[in-house]
Amino acid sequence: MKEIKILLVDDHKLIRDGIKSIINTTNNIKVVDECSNGREAIDYLGKNANEIDLILMDITMPEMSGIDATEIIVKLYPKINILALTMHSEEAYIMKMIKAGALGYILKDSGREKLIDAIKTVYRKEKYYSNEVSIKLINVLLNEDKIVEPVLSDREIQVLKSITNGNTNREIAKELYISDRTVESHRRNIIKKLNLKNTAELVKYALSNGLV
């Protein structure tokens, strides 16, 4: 049986060391290299793409997130399979990562066996979602309302970012060269789309669900 060659992408060295230590004591699987963010991973693949079968990809990282990196990598190197390995169990992250092209999604509170299982599955180009993840996904599907997932437009994201930075409608208006009434409309639409109540909740939601 051929050895599965893995690239490990996570911003915490101790986590990388730990995962590596788990994987490298398993037959036929080997971590051949590691990167600490998405940008590094892409640079690495530019030279060593042939050395890698599968990428274990964290999501929240400095420089470039795992979502952005995954999107790019699946286009450039379709042979390489990506397994998301993260502590985020929020639907928004899961959906984004899957849409970006990750074949599997496993949480950091899984055990060693599940990790190995997930790696082997994704290596065969089959999908793998850990239990909690599957349940979340099914919930999304069962919820007719949420099937039209509340995706914010580019403009709305811009406004939302500015809001989380503490700017008022008027300030955002200046920043984006539009009327403060328009900003107001955007703010209202965002709150409505996400089914929220006010700006405080909005900021909380945005920060804890990775919208910004």
Partner DNA sequence: TTTTTGCTACGTATTTATACCGATATTGAA
Partner DNA sequence: TTCAATATCGGTATAAATACGTAGCAAAAA
Contact positions toward a second copy, by CB under 8 A?
Answer: 11-15, 17-19, 21-22, 25, 36, 85, 87, 107-112, 115, 163-168, 196-204, 207-208
Q: Comparing C-alpha atoms, which of 107, 176, 111, 100 is closest to residue 136?
A: 107
As a residue count, the chain comes to: 212
Give Cα separations from 42 to 56, 84, 151, 176, 210 (angstroms). Answer: 13, 16, 27, 32, 22
In the complex, minimum distance from the CB of residue 146 to DNA, in angstroms, rounded to a whole number: 14
91: Cβ contacts below 8 Å, ≥ 6 apart: 136, 137, 139, 140, 146
Binding mask 54-93 for DNA (x = CB under 7 A): ----------------------------------------
Is residue 154 within the footprint of DNA (CB under 7 A)? yes
Residue 106 is classified by DSSP as E
70 binds, among a second copy, DNA, none (CB under 5 to 8 A by kind): none
Site for DNA in 185-204 (CB under 7 A): 185-188, 191, 197-200, 202
Give Cα separations from 64 to 53, 151, 210 (angstroms). Answer: 21, 21, 13
Which is closer to a second copy, CB of 147 or CB of 200? 200
Which is closer to DNA, CB of 125 or CB of 197? 197
Query: What's the CA dihedral at 70, 76, 79, 84 to 10 degrees?
Result: 0
Is residue 12 within the footprint of DNA (CB under 7 A)? no
- Site residues, DNA (CB under 7 A): 151, 153-156, 168-170, 176, 178-179, 181-182, 184-188, 191, 197-200, 202
